[in-house]
Amino acid sequence: MLMLIRQVEPGKRLRVGFFINNEFLPVPDAESVVHALFEIATHREPVPPNSEMLGTLIEKYTAHGGDNV
């Protein structure tokens, strides 16, 4: 289980537990990956049916000029 934590305002954080399939471990240390997983865990995004769709979702949260996944 992963614990995903997002600061929603100074001094206030939202924590959500998230189970992930072993095939996706270890989770890359990239902001876009964590952002996508947080959105899935909080039901703001549907669970991708495969790794290709997960990659598409991660790309959605990749800042231009930034994350190396």
* Domain residue ranges in the chain: 23-64
Residue range 18-67, pLDDT digits in tens: 888 887 788 888 999 999 999 999 999 999 998 899 999 999 999 765 54
What's the confidence (pLDDT) of residue 65? 52
Long-range contacts of 27-35 (CB under 8 A, 24+ apart): 27/2, 28/69, 30/58, 30/67, 30/68, 30/69, 31/61, 31/63, 31/66, 31/67, 32/58, 32/59, 32/61, 32/62, 32/63, 32/66, 32/67, 32/69, 33/58, 33/67, 33/69, 34/4, 35/61
Residue range 2-22, pLDDT digits in tens: 899 999 999 999 999 988 888
pTM of the shown model:
0.78
